[in-house]
Amino acid sequence: MGEALLKVADVTKTFADVTALSTVSVDFNAGEVVGLVGGNGAGKTTLLRLLCGLYQPSTGTVRGIVDENPVDIHKMREHVGVVPEATGLYARLTAWENIRYHSRLNGIDDDMAWTRTERFAKLLNFDQDLHRSTRGFSRGMRQKTALLRALSHGPKILLLDEPTGGLDVTSARMVRKLVRKLGDEGGTVIYSTHNLAEAQQVCDRIVIIHNGTLRADGSPAELISSTGCDDLEEAYVALTEDVSRIDSPAENEGRIARAWRRLLTRGGDSSD
């Protein structure tokens, strides 16, 4: 196990009278692909936004790459790649122009950004589409562009928020294959999903979030063993037996979706 890149200690996050997360403590270590698994409104996206500094904890601390509390979103930018659900691409630019703009914001030379982009684009079967305008791109093509954009500056940690949501089978499989390759090469990925089977395919470790609380943290085998169940699905059900709460407004707020984009870009139009 590598060093802890991010440490979450006793973090609670509230929005008015809604508690999105309650006393959550978890470490994210270098060289791991970690799945954040939970239903809609469980608190997964809130945790991701805390990790990159977009949110600040109501109580508790988030420390790591930028060793200060609260985390400074601008200092985190160079260390973290983010793929939110809303990709926020500029429709008047090509895929490569979107990626290049982002890499320039992070001080990365165009040649270096292109080398990284071309390598990963080939793995996604997307290298022939890099110079096409993103206007009219399918959901899968936009998601691939967003993933390449997040990787272009060589981040220490990659945060993925439902990266295969709405994708066709082939595109989703390519994204999972790339994530697994990053993990095998020593990359650090935090992979938020509600799809348990997908998490089991991709992740070394699974963190289960339910109703704003951390219910389990371990490898699939450890979660099965600790619950005495026969498979991971049964283990998940056993750990989340209480009724799921209604989706938190904080998880779906349009203003926050726009803030996700501001983490990646600085104004302008977007295709979604």
Digit-coded pLDDT (tens) for 185-199: 888 999 999 889 899
Among residues 182, 218, 222, 186, the alpha carbon closest in space to that of 202 is found at 182
In a domain, 269, yes or no: no
Among residues 172, 223, 170, the alpha carbon closest in space to that of 195 is found at 172
Maximum separation of any 2 CA atoms in the chain, in Å: 54
What predicted TM-score, i.e. pTM, was given to this entire model? 0.84
Supply the range of the domain harboring residue 43.
4-264
Q: How many domains does the chain have?
A: 1
Q: What's the mean pLDDT in 57-63?
A: 92
Residue 249 in this model has a pLDDT that exceeds 90: no
In a domain, 148, yes or no: yes
Mean residue pLDDT of the chain comes to 86
Q: What pLDDT shows up at residue 70?
A: 62
In a domain, 270, yes or no: no
Residue 248 in this model has a pLDDT that exceeds 60: no
The model's pLDDT over 152-161, given as tens digits with 9 standing for 90+, comes to: 998 889 999 9
Residues 6+ apart with CB under 8 A from 135: 91, 92, 271
Q: What's the mean pLDDT in 246-268?
A: 54
Among residues 198, 87, 102, 110, the alpha carbon closest in space to that of 151 is found at 102
Question: Where residue 46 sits, what CATH number does that domain have?
Answer: 3.40.50.300
Q: What pLDDT shows up at residue 65?
A: 72
Residue, of 134 and 268, whose pLDDT is higher: 134
The model's pLDDT over 85-97, given as tens digits with 9 standing for 90+, comes to: 888 899 999 999 9
Residue 49 in this model has a pLDDT that exceeds 80: yes
In a domain, 91, yes or no: yes
In a domain, 36, yes or no: yes
Q: How far is it, in rounded angstroms, from Cα 157 to Cα 240?
A: 28
In a domain, 218, yes or no: yes
Tokens of 105: 């914001």
In the sheet that holds 205-210, the strands lie side by side as 80-83, 157-161, 188-193, 33-37, 205-210, 213-218
In a domain, 9, yes or no: yes
The model's pLDDT over 210-233, given as tens digits with 9 standing for 90+, comes to: 999 999 999 999 999 999 999 999
The model's pLDDT over 119-150, given as tens digits with 9 standing for 90+, comes to: 999 999 999 999 999 998 998 999 999 999 99
Residues 6+ apart with CB under 8 A from 186: 30, 31
